[in-house]
Amino acid sequence: MTAMKTEYRHIGKPTPRKDALEIVTGKAEFIDDVKRPAMLCGKVLRSPYPHANILEIDTTKADALPGVKAVLTHKNVPGWKTGIPRHVRVLDRKVRFVGDAVALVAAETEEIAAEALGLIKVEYEKLPAVYDVEQAIQPDAPQLYDEFPRNLVPLDVKVFGPKSLSKVVMGDVEKGFGEADFIGEGTYAYENLANPLPLEPPGVIAEWEGPEKLTVWSATQSASWHRFIMLSKMGFPDIRTISTHCGGSFGSKNYSAQPLFYAAALAKIAGRAVKVMYTKEEHFGAFALRLGSRFRGKVGIKKDGTVTAVSGEWFVDTGAFSDMAQAQIAVGCGEAQLMLRCANWDLRTKLVCTNRNASGIVRGFGGQELESAFHPILSIAMEQADLDPVEFFKKNYVKPGEGYYWRDGNWWVCRGKDYSNAIMEGAKAFQWKEKWKGWLTPTAVHGSKRIGVGVGVHGNADVGEDESEAYVRLNPDATATIHACVSESGMGQRSSLCKMVAEVLQLPLERVNMTPPDSLINPFDFGLVGSRGTFAIGSAVIAAAEDARQKLLALAAPLFHSEPDELETMDGKVCVKGKLDTGIPWKSVTGHTQTCTGLGRFKPDYSVPNFLILFVEVEVDTETGQAVLLNVVAATDAGQIIDPLSLEGQLYGALGAAGMDTALFEESVLDRSRGHLLNINMIDYKWRTFSELPRFRNVILETGIPTHRYKALGVGEIATSPGPSAILMAASNAVGKRLCDYPVTPERVLKALGKIKKE
Amino acid sequence: MASGETNVRSKKIMKREKINLTVNGHAYELDVGRRAHEVDPAHTLAKTLRETLGLTGTKIGCDHGSCGSCTVLMDGKAILSCMTLTVECDGKSITTIEGLGDPKTGILDPLQQAFIDHTAFQCGFCTPGMLMGAKALLGQNRSPDEGQVKEALSGHYCRCISHYHVLRAVLEAAKRAR
């Protein structure tokens, strides 16, 4: 297969990121580096209570403080709303979590704004709060929103069209369970409220030019969202969105509805630009956590690993709200089917709000949440059947010709790859066969330390999601400019798109550049979500470059007295195919002041899922209970690597962004008596340091995947997803006891070993 | 106790009303006070660098001394500029990311070049701090081994997980510099 691989000039070669110099010299501009003329600082007064009515709010003293330019409460704030369906106001007369916004201040300096917050007097009427997803749906539970009885958030919201997926129901589960040799059953949860926690806190600058024209600067991974998603929520002003360099997002900063609302509302009243930059504490306590996920159900399998039925109820906990939960449920339901080939499903969902900080978009987007809660049940069934999980996943991951209901509710048939080779290559690199000793059996025992191995898989068909449009402009100076609304939040995708265009046009990479991510100067692009950059945006820019190339050759044909298809372009010169000495510069074709522009479009295609398998080796100390990750192998087939260093970085990302470590030590600790998150700083919220890096090897196959001409497929988004369940499996095997709770803390290990008392 | 001493020192500084510090070779005399252009005694060095001097290459991630992104050099030693009050920096020499390499000629520090060559970043927000931390290490130890690089950078948070690329880059830069 490798022998057949096409050699490209740029594609697949390690090339410096186009923005590398800016980044290493500190010149890359992030949101907090941006200053607008006369810009004010916006700050938020936050609730100390998890659930309360605001009886009185007095801002007289804050208003009077010199330097204060705007003070907003629920009484005078614009009526904009977010949430699906729309229910989350900019400020409300009620607060629903500790940290919920109560009032907003814009002032000349941060110090004055902070002082003004302290001068606002609020009288609260405390209300009982609810934190547990199943308690929240009881009839007598405290209710967060009047419009959502029993705290059930509607699922029939058509987020992805009229048939938008909110459950997986097909076949006959009763018959399926009847055919099963083994049944795994139970209730398990993945609800440690992990935080994707990019290093840079969220921030937004808003500036109005007249009452209907808003410009928004923000750190986002998808530059268009603050326009196309916010337009309808804000009464359709003309929103221009500009994305700065984004200091990490992992989904969470796709858009920042709340900071945007605050900055825009304050800017409107103050008549000046306002920056709202969250502190780290706000980032932890009032931005976006992972959805809570609990699964009660069962799975039936046959001796040979055939899955006969899946049924159960998936409880999804948004916290106080979530702007994307229904979308995450849709994708999660789709991804479960990619992982498990099964004819009989009855998987129902409930979306519930509770009194803790809101959830948002996080890498893994519903699928990681569902699979992590579902995996213990699957493991029980595999354990009963004594099946090697690698063989099980190889057998059951979706294959070309097999179908699934995707997020739009349509039945899609996979025309992508059989990933069995990636699974086998990964297993070989990890030495799985040597290390796997059976369920609840350690690979090795060294005194009190026991080593176990685990494995997980994940895939996503959203790699071909949503729409993209791009222009490629050929300039007379033999450079090319890509117009596409693409941000940079770490994937290096802007550079990779330049590589694709440079390849089509046969230009040196330094001659291809891209417009800044700005909705005013670029056509629509949905953004860098679900690893769609490589396939979806890639397809659009490749098509645009090819269109421009064709137009250029058509313009040149008369000059050569030949047909366009007899010509080619090489290094900024048009020539007769294969005869570089006939070349004439682009400017001789277009004229010195004219350009030649091509258009490319991409339409959604959910038929080519990606795939990742993660193998992990965990050492558990049976004396202290501590579990340590020693070794990771990630294996995938990327079709064709665009940029090897960037792709590797994406896969190493398995260790970050509320990924694998949510099974080891990452969690937001909620005090259920007072509703406070207890560890909302970077000392108490645990994160992996350089000193604790495991061995990590990436196995990346490149066997060509039918996407676009470079046969490449993105895989970064799912890097975090298979990890948590793989770690549970490995730790369980190490100690010989089934561990089912995330994260595997020393306390939980020692409890499982009977060394400390169970509660 | 130390707090008593600090109080005496802050009072002295408030009286003096000016502090002198060198940043990337430039000498600055900054007025201490509460007006817009002045250095408030409560200002951190990170804030002064970014807002008073316009050197925004230094990043603030947590503002509580636990992520490493604000790391700069003070007299060659890596410090957290978000945990250092500017009024305590009188007479000190500070190097920030803008002062790495030779800003006049544009010649990069070997560390910067190695970070480019290895794509030792994803979002790039931790990179300035990471580079300054690595610079301090190589100033003290020209030939660190992998373990020593890990130890030196263990206070630097990178959520994208560019650690493996960073390790390669720092070891490569050390090799090139020798």
Q: Please indicate whether, in this complex, the C-beta atoms of B119 and A489 are within 8 angstroms of each other.
A: no
Confidence tier at B153 by pLDDT (50, 70, 90): very high
Q: Is the complex ipTM more than 0.90?
A: yes
Work out the burial of residue A315: count CB atoms within 10 Å of its CB; fewer than 13 is exposed, 13-18 middle, 19 or more buried.
buried
H/E element, B175 = helix B163-177
Q: Write the residue in B36, B108, B163 that is nearest to A690 by C-beta.
A: B163
Within 8 A of A683 by CB-CB distance, chain B residues are: 64, 66
Q: Please indicate whether, in this complex, the C-beta atoms of B36 and A30 are within 8 angstroms of each other.
A: no
Collapsing DSSP states into helix, strand and coil, what is residue A393?
A: helix
Shortest CA gap A423–chain B (Å):
23
Give the type of residue at B88: E
Which pairing describes strands A567-570 and A512-514: parallel, antiparallel, or unpaired?
unpaired
Pick the more confident residue, B103 or B44: B44
> What are the C-alpha distances in Å from A708 to residues A565, A600, A610, A620, A640?
21, 12, 14, 45, 10
Percentage of residues in chain A having pLDDT higher than 70: 99
Confidence tier at B9 by pLDDT (50, 70, 90): low
DSSP code, position A114: H
Hunting for tokens 């609800």 — which residue is that? A191
Q: Please indicate whether, in this complex, the C-beta atoms of A690 and B160 are within 8 angstroms of each other.
A: no
pLDDT surpasses 80 at B2 = no
Query: A78: cis peptide before it, omega within 30°?
Result: no
Q: Please indicate whether, in this complex, the C-beta atoms of A645 and B119 are within 8 angstroms of each other.
A: yes
CA distance A430 to A537: 33
CA distance A580 to A324: 53
Q: Write the residue in A16, A199, A649 that is nearest to B117 by C-beta.
A: A16
Q: Please indicate whether, in this complex, the C-beta atoms of B163 and A16 are within 8 angstroms of each other.
A: no
Question: pTM here?
Answer: 0.96
Confidence tier at B6 by pLDDT (50, 70, 90): very low
- Tens digit of pLDDT for each residue in A85-121? 999 999 999 999 999 999 999 999 999 999 999 999 9
Closest C-alpha to A338, from A393, A296, A382: A393
Confidence tier at B104 by pLDDT (50, 70, 90): confident
Judge whether A323 and A357 are in contact, CB under 8 Å.
no
Q: Please indicate whether, in this complex, the C-beta atoms of B119 and A649 are within 8 angstroms of each other.
A: yes
CA distance B13 to A720: 50
CA distance A176 to A339: 18
Dihedral Cα B100, B102, B107, B109, nearest 10 deg: -30
Residue pairs between chains A and B whose CB atoms are closer than 8 Å: 170
Judge whether A520 and A240 are in contact, CB under 8 Å.
yes
Q: What's the pLDDT score for residue A610?
A: 98
pLDDT surpasses 60 at A1 = no
Q: Write the residue in B60, B128, B163 that is nearest to A26 by C-beta.
A: B128
Phi, psi of A337 (to 5 degrees): -70, -30
Q: What's the pLDDT score for residue B16?
A: 58
- Tens digit of pLDDT for each residue in A720-739? 999 999 999 999 999 999 99
- Tens digit of pLDDT for each residue in A191-246? 999 999 999 999 999 999 999 999 999 999 999 999 999 999 999 999 999 999 99
Mean pLDDT rounded to a whole number for chain A: 97
Collapsing DSSP states into helix, strand and coil, what is residue B151?
A: helix
Collapsing DSSP states into helix, strand and coil, what is residue A170?
A: strand
Q: What's the pLDDT score for residue B35?
A: 80
By C-alpha distance, the chain B residue nearest A23 is B124
**Tokens describing residue A181:** 């040799």
Strand order of the sheet with strand A468-474? A512-514, A480-483, A468-474, A596-602
3-state SS track over A40-95:
EEEEEEECCCCCEEEEEEECHHHHHCCCEEEEECCCCCCCCEECCCCCEECCCCEE
CA distance B19 to A12: 53
Q: Which whole number is the average pLDDT over A478-501?
A: 97
Query: A523: cis peptide before it, omega within 30°?
Result: no
Confidence tier at B1 by pLDDT (50, 70, 90): very low
Taking the Cβ of residue B107 and every Cβ of chain A, the question of whether any pair is shorter than 8 Å is answered with no
CA distance A86 to A287: 18
CA distance A565 to A39: 55
Q: Please indicate whether, in this complex, the C-beta atoms of B124 and A648 are within 8 angstroms of each other.
A: no
- Tens digit of pLDDT for each residue in B11-25? 555 555 899 999 999
By C-alpha distance, the chain B residue nearest A20 is B116
- Tens digit of pLDDT for each residue in A571-606? 999 999 999 999 999 999 999 999 999 999 999 999
Closest C-alpha to A392, from A303, A476, A318: A303
**Tokens describing residue A567:** 């010509």
Q: What's the pLDDT score for residue A47?
A: 98
Q: Please indicate whether, in this complex, the C-beta atoms of A489 and B128 are within 8 angstroms of each other.
A: no
How many residues can be counted in chain A? 759
pLDDT surpasses 80 at B5 = no
Q: Write the residue in A20, A108, A682 that is nearest to B157 by C-beta.
A: A682
Closest C-alpha to A540, from A591, A476, A493, A590: A493
Pick the more confident residue, B6 or A153: A153
- Look at phi and psi of residue A661 and say left if phi exceeds 0, alpha if psi is from -120 to 50, else beta: alpha
Collapsing DSSP states into helix, strand and coil, what is residue B95?
A: strand
Which pairing describes strands A345-352 and A307-317: parallel, antiparallel, or unpaired?
parallel
Percentage of residues in chain B having pLDDT higher than 70: 91
Query: Which of B95, B160, B170 is most worth mutating to test chain A (most A CB atoms within 10 A of its CB)?
Result: B160
Query: A743: cis peptide before it, omega within 30°?
Result: yes
Hunting for tokens 């080779």 — which residue is that? A421
Contacts of A26 (CB under 8 A, 6+ apart): B55, B56, B57, B58, B96, B97, B98, B128
Q: Which whole number is the average pLDDT over A70-82?
A: 97
Hunting for tokens 């059996």 — which residue is that? A441
Give the type of residue at A185: E
* Bridge partners (DSSP) listed for residue A352: A152, A317
Confidence tier at A544 by pLDDT (50, 70, 90): very high
- Cite the DSSP H helix spans in A124-221: 133-136, 173-179
Q: Which whole number is the average pLDDT over A391-414?
A: 98
pLDDT surpasses 80 at A518 = yes
Q: Which whole number is the average pLDDT over A634-651?
A: 98
> What are the C-alpha distances in Å from A338 to residues A130, A196, A598?
34, 24, 36
CA distance A181 to A582: 72
Which pairing describes strands A182-190 and A81-82: parallel, antiparallel, or unpaired?
unpaired
Closest C-alpha to B121, from A698, A198, A495, A491: A491
CA distance A600 to A551: 13
By C-alpha distance, the chain B residue nearest A26 is B57
Q: Which whole number is the average pLDDT over A428-437?
A: 98
Q: What's the pLDDT score for residue B43?
A: 95
Confidence tier at B103 by pLDDT (50, 70, 90): confident
pLDDT surpasses 70 at A753 = yes
B127-140 vs B110-117: helix axis angle to the nearest 10?
Answer: 130
CB atoms near residue A436 (< 10 Å): 22
Q: Write the residue in A21, A109, A246 that is nearest to B123 by C-beta.
A: A246
Within 8 A of A20 by CB-CB distance, chain B residues are: 115-116, 119, 121
Q: What's the pLDDT score for residue B36?
A: 75
Hunting for tokens 């600055």 — which residue is that? B28
Judge whether B59 and A200 are in contact, CB under 8 Å.
yes
